[in-house]
Structure 1
Amino acid sequence: MGDPEGAVRVTDLMPQRHRAPDLVRIVQGVRGEVTMRSTLRLRFDYGSVVPWVRRADGHRVAVAGPDSVWLRSVPDVKTWGENQSTVSEFTVREGERVAFVLTWHPSHEPRPRLVDPYSSLRHSVTDWRAWAGRCRYDGPHRDAVVRSLITLKALTYRPTGGIVAAPTTSLPEEPGGVRNWDYRFCWLRDSTLTLNALLAAGYQDEAEAWRDWLLRAVAGDPADLQIMYGLAGERRLPEFELPWLSGFDGATPVRTGNGAVKQLQLDVYGEVMDSLALARSSGLSAQPDVWALQSVLMDFLRTAWRQPDEGLWEVRGGRRHFVHSKVMVWVAADRAVRTLEENPGLGGDLDGWRELRDEVHREVCEKGTTPRGTRSRSRTARVNSTRRCC
C-alpha cells in the first residue's frame, strides 16, 4: 500500500490554551504516497472507564461521566469503531496535509469553539520562538539552557503560576520496581531553584507568578506547612493505588496522589525563606504581608527545628534527624537575619534569629560531620540513608 519510498512528517502540539485544551496532530506528506492508519483508544479515570462514542456535528464524541472528548479531522477523514477504538485510514501524498484535533471539555457544557490546526501550529511556533528569544543567558550551552527553560514554562499552569515537578505519575525509579511516585504536584523545595533559573534568564513575569503561587499556597498556620501542593495550592493530595493498571513495563503499583504530603520536612522552611529573600533582592513587585509570613515561620522554627523529620529523601520508615534539614533551618535563619540587616525598617527579632542561626551552626558542626579519616558507617548504610523515597 502506497509508495515504499514514501515519507511523512508527523507534528504533535498543544496550542496555547484559551478555554478547552486541544491536542493537534498534523500528518504532512514529504515524499511519494503513504497510506496511514490511526487508532484512538480513549479511556477515562485512569483507564477504568470506557466512554460511549457517538457522532455529532460530523465529529466523533466520547463521553463518560464528567469528561467529554471531541475528535475531528481537517480535511474530513472517515472513522469507524473497532475493538472499542476509533480507527481511520487515509493516504497522504507529497505536499498534502491531514490534521486531527482532540478536544476535552466538561461533558455538561456545549462543544467548545473549534481551533484551526494549521494556524495553531503557526501561532505556537511564533509564540515559542518569541518567548525563547527573551532569554538573557548568553553563556556556554545556551541551547540546553533554553530547552530547560522551555520545560519549566511547559510545566507551568498559567492561571495560578504553579509549576509541577513532572507531568507523569508512577514511572519507576528502577525497572520493575515499586518506587513509583506521583510527581504531578508543586514541591516547595523546587521554589528556590525555579526562581533562580527564571530570574537569571530574564523571565520576571513567570518568576512573579511562581512567587505569588508560593505565597498563596503556604498561607496559614506555619505548623501546617506542606512540602507540596496542587497546581492551585490544594492541600489534600491523598495517595491511592490503581490495581487495574499494569504500570510502565510492569512496574507496580501505579499511584495517584502522594502520601508524602503529610510528612514533616523541616528543610522546606529554609527553601521558602530563601525563595522570598531571593524575590525581594531581585526586585520583584512587593506583596503585602510577606514579611509578616516570614516572621511567623521563624517563630515556629525556634523550637520545631530540633524535631526529627522525614527529610529531603521523604523516608517512609519513621522520622530521623537529617543533617540537610538542619542546614536548611540555618538557611532560613540566615536569610531572615540578612533581610532584616538590609531592611531594618521591617522590624523583627534580629538578635534572636542570629542566636538561632549560631545554635544550628554549632549543632551541625558537632553532630552532623565526621572528622577526616573516620568512618562512621558502612558505604551501604550511607547510600540507603540518602535514597529518595517518594
Structure 2
Amino acid sequence: MEDYALLADLHTGPLVSREGSIDWLCFPRFDSPAVFCALLGDEDNGRWKLSAVDGQVVSRRYVPDTFILETEWKTPTGRVLVTDFLPPSDDHADLVRRVECLEGTMEIEHDLRIRFDYGRITPWVRRVDLGSHSNGDDCAHMGDSPSEPHPVGTRHVPHDGDGAGGATSSGGEAGDGTQDGGTAAEGRTSHWYRNFRQRVRHAAHEARSGETDGKGLLAVAGPDALLLTGPQLEPYQLGRDGEDVEVEHDEAHGPGADIRVLEGLRRGHRGTFRLDAGEQLDWVLTWSESYRELLVPADPERAQRATHAFWTDWASAVDCDGEYHEVVKRSLLVLRALTHSETGGIVAAPTASLPEDFGGARNWDYRYTWLRDAALTITTLVQRGHEHGALLWRDWLLRAVAGNPDQLKILYGVDGRRNITESELDHLSGYEGSRPVRIGNGAEDQYQADVAGEAMMALATLRDAGQEENDYSWGLQCNLMSFCELHMDTPDNGIWEMRGEPHFFTHGRVMMWTAFNEGLRAVREHGLAGDVERWTRLRDELHREIWEKGYDEELGIFTQTYDNREVDASLLQLPQTGFIAPGHPAMLRTVERIERDLQEEHGQLRRYRTAGGEQSMDGLSGDEYPFVICTFWLVEQYARSGRLDDAAELLRTTAGFASDLGLFSEQYDVARGRLAGNFPQAFSHLGLIRAVDALTAARHSETGRP
C-alpha cells in the first residue's frame, strides 16, 4: 500500500504504484465504479501500466505543494521522467501521463486494460478519427452508428452566475460578494465559494487547447466512455495460459468481433516507444458519458501548468513551520484533495476494501462522506485558516441531512445521496487475498450517537472563526440537538461502527453532551435563539449519567460502554470536547489503562481489544492493526496533560510511518512495517495535524510564547 501515490483533481483519487501502474481509478467521482480495479484483483480487472523497458525506479516525488507525481526511471541506456496528474475541473475528467527522456535512449512500454464496473465489463474499443474540432463545432453523439468514428467536441466550461464572462486569473475577484436576492451576510459568506470555484474553472479552462487533431482509442460500455489520445497503442489478446492470440484486425475488440472467439481471452492495448534525450510523449485519458458528446482532452502542457498553479496557489495559504511543516502541509493537501469541489462532500478515503487485516474479512468501502470524519476534517481546516472548504461542506450538510431529525444518517454519498447499499464483488480476489471485497457500506443504517456532537463542534468552530450563521445552518444545529433528544434512551453502534449488538458507548454519550453544550454556547456567546431551559436539562442529565454509568469508581476510569469494564481509544477524545480536563485524575487513570491494554510496539495504539480468531464485540472475527489516529490522539493527550517528552517521542515515531510521499493509511502493521486499511485516510492526516498543533501549543505555553 505504501508503494502507491495519490493523484487528485477534487473529484476522484486514483492510485499509481511505484512501478508505474494505475491500479485504481474511479471516474468521474470518488464513489463511481472503478475503471481500473487491479488493486483489488489482478491486472485483468483493469490497469494502465507505463514503465521503462529493463528499467528501475530510482526516485519519485510530488512536485512541491501539488499532486503532480514525478517518477524517474533508469536503464543501462538512459534516464526518463514520467509525470502523472489530473487537472482540476468541474466538468472534465482527464488523466495525463507525460514521458520525457532526460538522457541517452529509452524504451517505454504501455499495457492498458480498461474494465468498467470494478473489472466486470470489458468494453468495446475502437480507433476513432478525432478530426479537428474546436469550440462551437457541431458534435456527433455516442448514439451515432457504432461503426462510424466519433468526432470530438467540447462542452462549455461555465463561469460564475449564468456562465457569462471569461476566466480570471487564479487570484482574481469574483464580484462584490453579494448575490442577487441575497443578504449582504450571505454575499460575504459566498465570496470564498465563488472565488474558489472560479479558480477551479480557470484551471479547467487553461488545461485544454480548445481543439484536437489525430486519432484516439475509444472504449465504450454502458454509461461510460473513455478516450485515449496520444501515440497509438495496438490491441492484443492473451489466452487462458497467458499466450498471445493473434489479433486479426484492429476492430477485434469492437462490436464486430465474434463473441465466441473472444470467450476466455484477456484483451488490452499495448505499445513500446523509443525516445532519445530531449524527446517527450504524452497520453491523455478522458472520461465522458457514453450518451453525450465526447469532451476535448486536456492539452498536456497547458494542463500541467494549470494544475501546478492551482495547487501551489492553495498551498501558499497554508501556514505551517517547524519540525513537521512538510508532513503537515502534505496532510492539509490530502484533506483538500478528498473534498469534492462541486458538492462539498468529504470522503473518508478514496479507496474501497483495502484490508484492516491482511488476508482477512475486515474490508470496507470508505468512498463516502461520514458526518464524523467530515466534521473533524472541517474543524482541522478551519483551525488552520481554510474556511472556504468548510463553508462548502456546510452547504453540503444542509442538503444531505434535510428532512426530519429522526432521518439523520451517519454517512452519505459524495452528492448527499442516502442509498449506500453494501454488496460483495465475488469476481475480485481482494488485495493480497483479503475477501470479501465490499462496495457500499452497511453502516449507513446504524445509529451512532457521536455524529451529532462532532458536527456541532465543527459548525461551532466555523462560527467562532467569524462565519455568520444563516436561518438554515442554525436550524440544522437545532435539528441535530433534536436528534440527540430523540435518542436519549437508545443504545448505539459506536464510533467504530460495531456490527455486533448495540450498547451505550461512553464516547457517544459524551458527544451527545457536547451537542447540547455547543448549542447552549451558541446562544450564550453568539446571541442565537434556542430553548435554553430544555437543552440545559438534557445536557446536565447526560453529564450525571456519564459519571454514574460510564465511569467505573472501583477502577477509577472511564469505560468503553456502560455495561463493560474495557477501555477504548475513543475515550481520548473526551478532553477534546470540554467534558473533562486532560489533566483530571480520572482522565489520567483512563490513559494509564489505555496504555496498558491497547498500546503495542513503538507506542502504537489499537482502537479496542479484539478476540483474534473468535468473534469480537464488533461482530467480526480476525484481528486488526494499531489505528493511526488513535495514536495521534494519545500524542495530543500527552501534550495537553504536560507529558511533552512522551508526546514528542510518540509523534516523531508515528509521523515516520507515513509513506515516502507523506501519506497515511487507516492503520499500521508495526511488525511488518506496513500501512493497512484504506489509503490515504483523512482521519489519520487530520490526527497528525491536531497532534502537531497540540504539541506546539504546549511548548509555547511552557516557554511563555504566544
Whether TM exceeds 0.5 here: the answer is yes
Equivalences for residues 203-352 of structure 1 within 5 A: 203-344=386-527, 346-352=528-534
CA distance in 2, matches of 1:93, 1:382: 56
CA change 1:290–1:374 in 2 (3 A) is: closer
Deviation, 1:276, is 1.9
Deviation, 1:80, is 3.2
**Secondary structure of the residue that 1:252 maps to in structure 2?**
coil
**Secondary structure of the residue that 2:217 maps to in structure 1?**
strand
Given that residues 211 and 279 in structure 1 are in contact (C-alpha distance below 8 angstroms), is that contact kept between their aligned partners in structure 2?
no
Q: Is 1:64 matched up with 2:136?
A: no
Given that residues 285 and 297 in structure 2 are in contact (C-alpha distance below 8 angstroms), is that contact kept between their aligned partners in structure 1?
no
CA distance in 2, matches of 1:114, 1:289: 40
Specify which of 110, 124, 134 is matched with residue 52 of structure 1.
124
Aligned AA for 2:529?
A: G
1:193 maps to: 376
Superposed CA offset, 1:291-331 (max 9, x none):
22222332342341221011111111121111011010010
Given that residues 406 and 486 in structure 2 are in contact (C-alpha distance below 8 angstroms), is that contact kept between their aligned partners in structure 1?
no
CA distance in 1, matches of 2:322, 2:104: 43
**Secondary structure of the residue that 2:101 maps to in structure 1?**
strand
Q: Is 1:79 matched up with 2:151?
A: no
Deviation, 1:81, is 3.3
Q: Comparing 229-238 with 363-372, which one deviates more in the overlay?
A: 363-372
CA distance in 1, matches of 2:523, 2:509: 21
CA distance in 2, matches of 1:101, 1:224: 43
2:78 maps to: 6
Deviation, 1:88, is 0.9
1:40 maps to: 112
2:65 maps to: none
2:96 maps to: 24
Deviation, 1:214, is 1.5
Given that residues 137 and 200 in structure 1 are in contact (C-alpha distance below 8 angstroms), is that contact kept between their aligned partners in structure 2?
no
Given that residues 81 and 102 in structure 2 are in contact (C-alpha distance below 8 angstroms), is that contact kept between their aligned partners in structure 1?
yes
Superposed CA offset, 1:346-388 (max 9, x none):
3222122112111111111111112364797475996137869
Aligned AA for 1:223?
A: D
Aligned AA for 2:228?
A: L
Deviation, 1:136, is 2.6
Q: Comparing 102-111 with 372-381, which one deviates more in the overlay?
A: 372-381
Superposed CA offset, 1:228-280 (max 9, x none):
11111111110110101111111111111001000001111111222222222
Equivalences for residues 95-110 of structure 1 within 5 A: 95-110=278-293
Given that residues 313 and 386 in structure 1 are in contact (C-alpha distance below 8 angstroms), is that contact kept between their aligned partners in structure 2?
no
**Secondary structure of the residue that 2:389 maps to in structure 1?**
helix
Aligned AA for 1:67?
A: D
5+ residue gaps in structure 2? 1-52, 55-74, 130-214, 239-266, 558-563, 567-596, 599-606, 611-615, 621-676, 678-706
Superposed CA offset, 1:32-90 (max 9, x none):
111111010110111111001111011111111111111111xx345333431011110
2:354 maps to: 171
CA distance in 1, matches of 2:474, 2:318: 30
**Secondary structure of the residue that 1:289 maps to in structure 2?**
helix
Aligned AA for 1:6?
A: G
CA distance in 1, matches of 2:490, 2:548: 17
Task: Give aligned-pair identity as a percent.
Answer: 43
Given that residues 77 and 90 in structure 1 are in contact (C-alpha distance below 8 angstroms), is that contact kept between their aligned partners in structure 2?
no
1:93 maps to: 276
Deviation, 1:22, is 0.5
CA change 1:20–1:296 in 2 (3 A) is: closer
Aligned AA for 2:119?
A: G
Given that residues 345 and 393 in structure 2 are in contact (C-alpha distance below 8 angstroms), is that contact kept between their aligned partners in structure 1?
yes
2:38 maps to: none
Deviation, 1:21, is 0.3
Q: Is 1:183 matched up with 2:366?
A: yes
CA distance in 2, matches of 1:80, 1:235: 41
Given that residues 61 and 69 in structure 1 are in contact (C-alpha distance below 8 angstroms), is that contact kept between their aligned partners in structure 2?
yes
Specify which of 289, 296, 300 is matched with residue 117 of structure 1.
300
Given that residues 10 and 28 in structure 1 are in contact (C-alpha distance below 8 angstroms), is that contact kept between their aligned partners in structure 2?
yes
Superposed CA offset, 1:138-179 (max 9, x none):
454111111011111111211111111111000000110101
CA distance in 1, matches of 2:399, 2:289: 27
**Secondary structure of the residue that 1:32 maps to in structure 2?**
strand
CA change 1:372–1:160 in 2 (3 A) is: same
Q: Is 1:357 matched up with 2:357?
A: no
CA distance in 1, matches of 2:387, 2:515: 24
Superposed CA offset, 1:68-124 (max 9, x none):
111111xx3453334310111101222111111111111111220121112211221
CA distance in 2, matches of 1:366, 1:172: 38
**Secondary structure of the residue that 2:334 maps to in structure 1?**
helix
Given that residues 216 and 232 in structure 2 are in contact (C-alpha distance below 8 angstroms), is that contact kept between their aligned partners in structure 1?
no
**Secondary structure of the residue that 2:118 maps to in structure 1?**
coil
CA distance in 2, matches of 1:268, 1:59: 48
* TM-score relative to the length of structure 2: 0.52
Matched pairs, number = 387
Q: Comparing 373-382 with 146-155, which one deviates more in the overlay?
A: 373-382
CA distance in 2, matches of 1:204, 1:317: 38
CA change 1:131–1:388 in 2 (3 A) is: farther
Given that residues 273 and 294 in structure 1 are in contact (C-alpha distance below 8 angstroms), is that contact kept between their aligned partners in structure 2?
yes
1:369 maps to: 551
**Secondary structure of the residue that 1:85 maps to in structure 2?**
strand
Aligned AA for 1:383?
A: R
Given that residues 400 and 412 in structure 2 are in contact (C-alpha distance below 8 angstroms), is that contact kept between their aligned partners in structure 1?
yes
CA distance in 2, matches of 1:260, 1:186: 12
Q: CA RMSD in A?
A: 2.3
**Secondary structure of the residue that 2:521 maps to in structure 1?**
helix
Given that residues 189 and 271 in structure 1 are in contact (C-alpha distance below 8 angstroms), is that contact kept between their aligned partners in structure 2?
yes
CA distance in 2, matches of 1:374, 1:203: 40
CA change 1:299–1:115 in 2 (3 A) is: closer
CA distance in 2, matches of 1:352, 1:219: 23
Given that residues 70 and 103 in structure 1 are in contact (C-alpha distance below 8 angstroms), is that contact kept between their aligned partners in structure 2?
yes
CA distance in 1, matches of 2:323, 2:521: 32
Given that residues 82 and 100 in structure 2 are in contact (C-alpha distance below 8 angstroms), is that contact kept between their aligned partners in structure 1?
yes
Deviation, 1:289, is 2.4
CA distance in 2, matches of 1:309, 1:267: 9
**Secondary structure of the residue that 2:275 maps to in structure 1?**
strand
